[in-house]
Amino acid sequence: MNINERHQHILEKLKKDGKVNIFALQEEMGVSGVTIRKDLKLLEDKHLMFRIRGGGSINNPYAVDRPIDEKELINSDEKKRIAKAALKLIADTDSIMIGSGTTVFEVARALFPPKHLTVITPALKVGVELSNRSNVEVLQLGGLIRPNSSSVMGDYAMNMLNDISCGVFFLGVDGIDLDFGISISNLTEAALNQKMIDTAQTVVVLADSTKFDRRGLGRICSLEQVHFIITDRNVSANTVKAIKERDIQMILV
């Protein structure tokens, strides 16, 4: 195959499967891995695809930092189903943490506990939503407010967590990647989420299927630090299998 034929073959595979693998392309086209990598770079430079670890993808693997009001409009039905499933994990615990993000905010909207529950949160919208809710006591973390997420961040919020322990942490994310792990689009918020993970006994990631195979700027943790991932059924079977093999419970709604 000449270079044009190779590029056409790669683009056809991307259109069909959404991804291509370097080793598979080597066998199919009878060329070296070096040649394939050069082809992928050329196609990426033409904005026809994105390079990812071990190959290429038709979808952008990097999460975009959008304002929270814009995020609320994306996959809203899926987020509500995910939040409903998340409520079942609260059980009889007397304290939970709800992070920032539109999916975890749906947990706050749906939360009407029959018994007393303390909710710790950096998210202003969560605090306001639950401030007058029966059986709910809110511990609002303090600090600088990040406009895009309407959530606090920084050392002051982290210091408040030094003497706190809670049962379940519901974590909103921008990216879930098998190699990079769990990530978000802001480094300072990533650091606060790391601290909240250290504070919780159980970590539950809530994310719709668009967050998979994506990477935010700031890495929060490895997949191995997560106990549950709740998502919708549009995640690929291969991804679900790979995550379950790491002893993480996947709940598909």
Tell me the domain boundaries of the chain.
3-57, 68-252
Rg from Cα positions in the chain: 20
Q: Which of 165, 164, 189, 195 is nearest to 101 (CA)?
A: 189
Overall average pLDDT of the 14-18 stretch: 86
Whole-angstrom CA distances from 37 to 16, 53, 54, 111 are 20, 11, 9, 49
Residues 240-250 pLDDT 10s: 999 999 999 99
- pLDDT attached to residue 54: 84
pLDDT band per the 50, 70, 90 thresholds, residue 131: very high
Taking residues 32-48, what's their average pLDDT? 90
State the pLDDT at residue 68.
55
- Give the model confidence (pLDDT) of 171-185 as tens digits: 999 999 999 999 998
Query: Stretch 135-141: mean pLDDT, rounded?
Result: 96
- Position 73 confidence tier, pLDDT thresholds 50, 70, 90: very low
Res. 79 pLDDT band, cuts 50 70 90: very high
pLDDT for residue 34 = 92
Specify the CATH class of 68-252 in words. alpha beta
Task: Report percent pLDDT > 70 for the chain.
Answer: 94
Q: What's the pLDDT score for residue 49?
A: 82
pLDDT at position 53 over 50: yes
pLDDT at residue 94 greater than cutoff 90: no
What tokens appear for 69 in the block? 């009001």
Residue 242 token pair: 């790979």
Q: Which residue has the higher pLDDT, 62 or 231?
A: 231
The secondary structure of residue 18, as a DSSP letter, is S
Q: What is the CATH number of domain 3-57?
A: 1.10.10.10
